[in-house]
Copies of this chain bind each other. A is one copy, B any other.
Amino acid sequence: MQKTKGKQSILFANPPVVTGTANIGGPMEGQGLLGDYFDHLMEDNLHDLSSWEKCESYMLEQVIKTAAQKSGGDMSDIDYVFAGDLLNQLMSTHFALRSLSRPFIGLYGACSTMALSMIMGAITVDGGFANKVVGAASSHHDAAERQYRFPTELGVQRPPMAQWTVTGAGAAVIAAAGFGPRITAATIGKIVDLGVKDPNSLGPAMAPAAVDTLWQHIQDTGRQPAYYDMIFTGDLGSVGKTLVIEMMKEKGIDISDNYEDCGCMIYKEEQDAHAGASGCASSAVVFCGYIYQMMTELKLNKILLIGTGSLHSPTSYQQKESIPCIAHAVAVEI
């Protein structure tokens, strides 16, 4: 493969295999639309631990170990773990990885982390630097709310376009050989910021980044959106999803038939999640559960997962900055 100037995409020469995945959710995720597509479900958001952050670490540790087992091995087979979460200094990831004791690369892509971890994992495997790696990501509703917005105990009313941070985690084992869908291509995103400043409105902030990466993917690979059975964005929610469809229409491409947002797939209407799900776990639990199962059952053969991340911080918000966003796309085919 020869890198061409200006391109942001990779076509893998020996597409790495996703040999196993695992996911976990909390009670709200279990009662949602994809409740049947979880490896583990917790009865509450603490799981008898002393903090939400520790519960998030527990979730990440569980899915990484389970994914390694479902790939027919255990943690000792895993050369490297690529992982991240939303918390300051990746707190949950670091404490999970402390227990797992495997070589580790910390990624921060906010809610795009699952796709980013799969891309970096695939680069490392296809480049010949590893036989088996894990890509993983997590988020926890209560830990994220108190860090980014308000402690949940305050009961602050959420605006209609707010989304609900998913409590959950997902992990995918990416290997040089084995059975399963393969990572065939990836597009690494640039930061896009059209000036949205409201941290309760992340879907609209992230939609232009998703469109930028999807458009770049089409230019670089020559694959039209119709090439894929389904295109999934990570956590744009209903408002952001509508914007993506409209922005692509403006470019002359109608993706309304084979495009869905993971953030719109997790909760039922009556669960009152407002504009949908968000958080690193949004795309992580959907890809590592529902999508992966649909692919192994050959109900989906070619998908493009576009992880979407809002890269603001509470400090940048207080300093009146707008919200920089990014999207990374990974193509998986069987």
The verdict on A51 contacting chain B, using a C-beta distance below 8 Å, is yes
Residues of B with C-beta under 8 A to A311: 89-90, 94, 106
A91-112 vs B, Cβ < 8 Å mask (1 yes, 0 no): 1001101100111111111100
The verdict on A138 contacting chain B, using a C-beta distance below 8 Å, is no
Residues of B with C-beta under 8 A to A188: 80, 103-105
Decide: A88 and B127 in contact? CB cutoff 8 A. no
Decide: A313 and B88 in contact? CB cutoff 8 A. yes
Docked CA distance A206–B282 (Å): 34
Q: What is the number of residues of chain A that contact chain B, defined by CB distance less than 8 Å?
A: 63
The verdict on A84 contacting chain B, using a C-beta distance below 8 Å, is yes
Decide: B190 and A324 in contact? CB cutoff 8 A. no
Docked CA distance A6–B80 (Å): 10
Decide: A91 and B128 in contact? CB cutoff 8 A. no
Decide: B108 and A1 in contact? CB cutoff 8 A. no
Decide: A190 and B120 in contact? CB cutoff 8 A. no
Residues of B with C-beta under 8 A to A191: 94, 97-98, 101, 104
Residues of B with C-beta under 8 A to A102: 190
Decide: B110 and A108 in contact? CB cutoff 8 A. no
The verdict on A205 contacting chain B, using a C-beta distance below 8 Å, is no
Docked CA distance A24–B265 (Å): 47
Which of B77, B98, B104, B105 meets A193, CB within 8 Å? B98
A1-38 vs B, Cβ < 8 Å mask (1 yes, 0 no): 11101111010010000000000000000000000000
Decide: B123 and A77 in contact? CB cutoff 8 A. no
The verdict on A235 contacting chain B, using a C-beta distance below 8 Å, is no
Docked CA distance A126–B128 (Å): 10
Decide: A108 and B90 in contact? CB cutoff 8 A. yes
Q: Which of A53, A110, A131, A190 has the most CB of B within 10 A?
A: A190
Which of B95, B97, B312 meets A316, CB within 8 Å? B95
The verdict on A157 contacting chain B, using a C-beta distance below 8 Å, is no
Decide: B104 and A107 in contact? CB cutoff 8 A. no
A32-62 vs B, Cβ < 8 Å mask (1 yes, 0 no): 0000000000000000001101100000000
Decide: A108 and B89 in contact? CB cutoff 8 A. yes
Residues of B with C-beta under 8 A to A312: 89, 94
Task: Please provide the 10 A-B residue pairs with the shortest distance between their CB atoms, ordered closest to farther.
Answer: A127-B127, A89-B313, A94-B311, A106-B108, A103-B188, A88-B88, A98-B191, A98-B324, A8-B103, A108-B108
| Interchain Cβ contacts under 8 Å between A and B, 25 examples | A1-B129, A2-B128, A3-B129, A7-B79, A8-B103, A13-B128, A88-B88, A88-B89, A88-B313, A88-B315, A89-B108, A89-B313, A90-B311, A91-B313, A95-B321, A97-B190, A98-B193, A104-B190, A104-B191, A105-B107, A105-B109, A105-B120, A106-B107, A106-B116, A108-B108
